[in-house]
Structure 1
Amino acid sequence: MNVRGRSLLVAMAAAALVLSGCSDSDDTPDVPTIAPQTPIAAPAADPAKPPAGVVVPVANAGTALAYCTMTKQLAMLSDDGRSVLFYDTAGLAPGAAPVRTVALSDKATGVGTFSSGKLEVLIPGALLIIDSTTGDTVRVDLPGTPLSAVLTSGGDILVGNDKGSLMVVDPAGTVRDTITGFVRVDAIAEHEGQVVVLDRAQSSVTEVDVEDSDLGVSLRSGDGATNLTVDHYGRFLTTDTLGGEFLAFYGDPIVNKFRHPVAFGPYAVDYDDTHNLAWVATTGNNQVTAYELATGTPVQVQQFQTVSQANSMVVNPETGTVYLLSADGGGLQIINPDQQ
């Protein structure tokens, strides 16, 4: 089950903020904000620096990527956001066709967890749960435009939207609670019940006590945070695209464990649980880098050239295979670090 919904120690530049959340208000906080960051545009392709590994041409795909460990499938959003393509990873090679394509009722804004063959897809006003085997879709109507979702270890789905709300959807598809207090909820990660939310408009990470509907400690995550994941140790890892940093937060309450400079616009981030490596993709130079974190300071151990504009990345937690999806038609890249 792929649930990512799951060094130099430095102090955060900004102090921790303790916020309170409630379920009966749609008001967003009156706080300083920035324009939510987007990936840095990739440079023109350099023939002298071809992508590592194998590149599979994928027609009409390029905006989001998810992996299911049970079915060994990849799910990709089409370039227009109006369909999902499911691919078997076994023998995935140039010329491979999707095993299933599912049309969507509206343009997707992203995907959440892909687990046990069920993919969470976000569209304006709803969460869709798509069965990759049958194509059957369950719709859960939600307010606003959902931006992020994660399946928790307890079986609930947490969905964040553009209005700063975090909604708790139970396994029956009922919205059990709504927690407010953010400007946006752009990414969510959960580890053994600990939930952290990333808000791009505040460039912050915030702990959430889902059971009590409260917000906990909130910390700045650089100058323009974009993405969030969590490893099996419970370290919440973020990328600061604007400020050029890779950051980690840990503990309860969370504290900043490191801020590591990364040039060329760090964006996509994921973790390899098998080799204990954090992977960070930088679109400004079309590269992806693996960091070992055991010493508390990120140590670069591998680096590869990627497809152009690799905005989406997922790592198979069982094998360490890295999948990167080009947002400008460059295809799906497959890197097996052990074979490079």
Structure 2
Amino acid sequence: MRRLTAASRIAIPLVGALALSACSASGQDNTDSLQVVANPVAVKPAVSPAVTTKPSGQVLATPAVSAMATDEKTRTLAVAVTQPPSILVYDLDSLSTPRATVPLPAPAESLTTSGGQAIASIPTKGELAKIALPGGQLTTQPVAGQPTAGVADGPDTIVAVRDRKAVEVLAHGAVTKTITGQLYSADDVVDTGQGVVVLDRLRTAVFSVDVNAGTMGEGLRAGDGAANATSDSYGRVLVTDARAGALLAFSVGPLILRQRYPVPGGIYGIAYDHQRNLAWVTLTGQNQVVGFDVRGGEPTEKYRFPTVRQPNSVSVDDRSGRVLVGSAAGEGTQVIQP
């Protein structure tokens, strides 16, 4: 992995590694070195103003979007919409209309794709929905608690379970491991290829997970309001800090904060273009999407486009470089060619 160091003008001290003995069971002990406030609250996206600049590119008519992801193997875009709860399956090379609509029992909170399959988390129903791509065949997997994110790891599925403060490993429909410890809330899980990291929005922190050993590893503060995370081409985890307005980069093995770059405007959603090494982030406070080159010592802005209102979700087509932005306000799914 290429190890990067942030420029001195954006370097910040870490608040601290975990002090396990200081964390109470309720997660409210002020001696905890990772805790920011006495009663932590998970961050929400900044509310978008009305659109005053025409969104770039093409806008597809869709209901409110809660999550989206692309699958390069099948050249598919999967879009989770809230009303009615469903997954819209598009051909990335012909985006005019969805090729399939897959009904869900309730809105999906997150959506990931891998090798011809989409995984949607449905925390209000305690289910993962698995959608075969590109056809849209649906199977559901019950999960004890509120599954907030699931990622494929070979034949296994790694699942973050919010209310149970756990990461579970599922194989062939059965739980093979339940990993707990140190979390206040398990809200997202990222597999970097060099390690697994879970995002805790309530504690605004990231934790390494040793899936093979079934243990929770070290943890670090992730700004003042960690919102969303993805992996990049260097085995790092990129995190949006929606409260402080920053893009964070963590290396894994061990978990180290490498960069903290200021991004004002309500940073929230994030996606990564592995072909061009661009991190795309949405600014919900400004109705914009911004592309940063992350190959150097600090991110370098390359693109900035006006978007649909409330651009909470973003994804990327690695082959073409197109950026897909979803409006949580029901104003469509945007397709931008940089």
| Normalised TM-score (structure 2) | 0.88
Match of 2:51 in 1: 45
Matched-pair contact (CA < 8 Å) for 1:19–1:217: no
Match of 1:107 in 2: 106
Report matched runs for 1:87-126 at 5 Å.
87-92=90-95, 96-104=96-104, 106-123=105-122, 124-126=125-127
2:92 aligned with 1:86: no
Shift of 1:155: 3.2
2:69 aligned with 1:54: no
> Secondary structure of 2:140's match?
strand
User: Aligned partner of 1:38: which letter?
Assistant: K
User: Aligned partner of 2:324: which letter?
Assistant: Y
Match of 1:325 in 2: 326
Cα distance in structure 2, aligned partners of 1:224 and 1:62: 22
Shift of 1:68: 1.0
Compared CA separation, residues 69 and 218, structure 1 to 2 (3 A): same
Match of 2:179 in 1: 179
Matched-pair contact (CA < 8 Å) for 1:273–1:318: no
Match of 2:3 in 1: none
Matched-pair contact (CA < 8 Å) for 2:307–2:334: yes
Match of 1:202 in 2: 203
Shift of 1:193: 4.3
Matched-pair contact (CA < 8 Å) for 1:281–1:289: yes
User: Aligned partner of 2:155: which letter?
Assistant: G
User: Aligned partner of 2:180: which letter?
Assistant: T
Matched-pair contact (CA < 8 Å) for 2:120–2:149: no
Report matched runs for 1:307-318 at 5 Å.
307-318=308-319
Match of 1:155 in 2: 155
Compared CA separation, residues 219 and 120, structure 1 to 2 (3 A): same
> Secondary structure of 1:167's match?
strand
Match of 1:218 in 2: 219
Compared CA separation, residues 119 and 146, structure 1 to 2 (3 A): same
> Secondary structure of 2:254's match?
coil
Uncovered stretches (5+) of structure 1, i.e. residues with no partner: 1-6, 21-26
Report matched runs for 1:130-149 at 5 Å.
130-149=131-150
Uncovered stretches (5+) of structure 2, i.e. residues with no partner: 1-5, 30-34
Match of 1:249 in 2: 250
Q: For each residue in 1:108-140, what CA deviation from the matched residue of structure 2 results, as whole angstroms up to 9, or x when unmatched?
A: 342332223321122221212122344432222
Matched-pair contact (CA < 8 Å) for 1:265–1:284: yes
Cα distance in structure 1, aligned partners of 2:290 and 2:186: 27
> Secondary structure of 2:312's match?
strand
Q: For each residue in 1:273-324, what CA deviation from the matched residue of structure 2 results, as whole angstroms up to 9, or x when unmatched?
A: 1111111111000111111222211111211111111100011223321100
> Secondary structure of 1:127's match?
strand
Compared CA separation, residues 253 and 79, structure 1 to 2 (3 A): same
> Secondary structure of 1:17's match?
coil
Matched-pair contact (CA < 8 Å) for 1:230–1:236: yes
2:68 aligned with 1:68: no
Cα distance in structure 1, aligned partners of 2:167 and 2:26: 12
Q: For each residue in 1:18-57, what CA deviation from the matched residue of structure 2 results, as whole angstroms up to 9, or x when unmatched?
A: 659xxxxxx76555451111110101110xx211121122
Compared CA separation, residues 38 and 69, structure 1 to 2 (3 A): same
Higher relative contact order (CA 8 A, sep 6+): 1
Matched-pair contact (CA < 8 Å) for 1:86–1:101: yes
Shift of 1:268: 0.6
User: Aligned partner of 1:328: which letter?
Assistant: A
Compared CA separation, residues 168 and 81, structure 1 to 2 (3 A): farther
Cα distance in structure 2, aligned partners of 1:255 and 1:160: 21
User: Aligned partner of 2:67: which letter?
Assistant: A
Matched-pair contact (CA < 8 Å) for 1:18–1:215: no
Cα distance in structure 1, aligned partners of 2:121 and 2:101: 16
Cα distance in structure 2, aligned partners of 1:30 and 1:251: 27
Seq. identity, %: 36
Shift of 1:97: 2.2
Cα distance in structure 1, aligned partners of 2:203 and 2:315: 25
Match of 1:36 in 2: 42
Cα distance in structure 2, aligned partners of 1:316 and 1:327: 20
User: Aligned partner of 1:90: which letter?
Assistant: D
Match of 2:32 in 1: none
> Secondary structure of 1:310's match?
coil
| Normalised TM-score (structure 1) | 0.87
Cα distance in structure 2, aligned partners of 1:207 and 1:228: 13
Match of 1:3 in 2: none
Report the more deviating stretch, 77-86 or 298-307: 77-86
Shift of 1:64: 1.3
Shift of 1:254: 1.4
2:267 aligned with 1:230: no
Report the more deviating stretch, 140-149 or 107-116: 107-116
Q: For each residue in 1:71-93, what CA deviation from the matched residue of structure 2 results, as whole angstroms up to 9, or x when unmatched?
A: 1111112223621111112132x
Q: How many residues align?
A: 316
